[in-house]
Amino acid sequence: MANVVLVGTQWGDEGKGKIVDLWTAQADMVVRFQGGNNAGHTLIIDGEKFVFHLIPSGILHLGTQCVIGSGVVVDPAILLDEMEQLRSQGYEKALERLVISDEAHIILPTHRLIDMAREAGLGCRKIGTTGRGIGPAYEDKMSRCGLRFIDLQLGGEHLKERLYAIVEGHNQLLEKIYGQETVSPAAVLAEIEPAAEILRPMVQKTPYMLQEAVDKEQNILFEGAQGTLLDIDHGTFPFVTSSSTVAANACAASGFGMNRISQVSGVIKAYTTRVGEGPFPTELSDEKGDWLREKGGEFGATTGRPRRCGWLDLVALRYAVMINGLDSFAVTKLDVLSGLESISVCEAYEYQGKRLDYFPSSIDMLQGCTPVCRQLPGWQEDITGILAFEELPENARNYILFMEEQLGIPALVVSVGPDREQTIIRGNPFTV
């Protein structure tokens, strides 16, 4: 038995979906533990593309139980759309293995309206949210007035009373603070009730399911969303997401004992990207940044927005290794770097003439940092068909070995293309 936590180490979009799908082959259960449909995990299986925003990325493996955990905020309409996508692609039976925590909170249409109105009101100070209502839903959770799946499960007058009170509170904000039109609580209830009928059989008290898996000595994989640098506490605040994205939250947001985690692994893109606003020390605002964006297909799976691209940032990655307690990592999109004569890697920052080896908490300070870079030789060969580490071009191997040396942990996986099969396996997190 082993229990593995997988998190993003950068600003999200590291390719976690592919690694979750890959490691689910050894897992009996996959648990998505935080975030909402502001995350997009893309899988390509035998050339067929799947994009999940809420459903755990392990859903395509037969026999694997998939859990949407207590720390996730769920838009029922988006979840139903994803379920329909699976049906249309021939995975109807997979939905029998999907369970939703009765403690998970629900995103309402009014959450989305508040999110968009607030972002529009910020003007040049906007955060760059997806406008999906995730932040307002987490706000209701923290102010102890949110709607949960247990409320959907109970239904009837209980659900009506809870939902009406929440929507009426949202209307106060929409009308008096943001100058927007109000929403009928009855209309929101009419939208929620059909979804509740479909989702109600899938709702369970999931911490007991996790305990049962432990008792049976089954393997559990905990799937994070977004990335470490978007963490609400430790990221580039306020340009962060509304949940805790670090590995420790896998336990807190799932109802799972910390002492039962066997391995913590992080996903690292071979370069760095960011969507939305906020500081980005290694960003390339030139033709090389454009080249990385086009070759890497760097457009958001959730929003379609072009991602900002830059070189690998070891300062940020060492910080991610430390605060997550990473034991290992997986590298994605190494193939995108093929064709470069040389590759820059940020080893430190320079701020006001001084060298910094730590990741600053002040966004103003981070915005003023310039990267201190080392040049590594690139490679020209197409590596998308290589399945053994020893067969990679020497400079590609050295790039991975350099990352291992700098971070002090091993690379268990090297992805050389988007498909599940385009992967070099160097270790198994369930057996290390």
Describe the chain by its helix, strand, coil percentages, rounded to 5.
40, 20, 40
- 342-351 and 370-377 as β-strands: parallel, antiparallel, unpaired? antiparallel
**Residue 117 burial by CB count (10 A; 0-12/13-18/19+): exposed, middle or buried?**
middle
Annotated catalytic residue within 28, 41, 61, 151: 41
- Rounded to a whole number of angstroms, the distance between the first and last alpha carbons of the chain is 12
Q: What is the DSSP code (8-state) at residue 182?
A: P
**Which residue do the tokens 């068909």 mark?**
385
**Other C-beta atoms lying within 10 Å of the C-beta of residue 279:** 18
Helix 185-199 / helix 156-172 crossing angle, nearest 10 deg: 140
C-alpha–C-alpha distance, residues 238 and 216, integer Å: 42
Give the residue among 297, 264, 271, 241 at the shortest CA–CA distance from 51: 297
**Which residue do the tokens 């996986």 mark?**
413
Q: Has 105 been annotated as catalytic?
A: no
Q: Has 170 been annotated as catalytic?
A: no
> Any residues with CB less than 8 A from the CB of 214 and at least 6 apart, and which?
1, 3, 220, 260
**Which residue do the tokens 């190494």 mark?**
334
Annotated catalytic residue within 13, 21, 115, 313: 13
C-alpha–C-alpha distance, residues 32 and 174, integer Å: 31
Give the residue among 400, 222, 230, 412 at the shortest CA–CA distance from 320: 230
C-alpha–C-alpha distance, residues 405 and 140, integer Å: 44
Yes or no: say if 221 and 212 are a contact pair by the CB < 8 Å rule.
no
29 bridge partner residues: 65, 220
**Which residue do the tokens 């050295």 mark?**
398
Q: Which residues are catalytic?
A: 13, 41
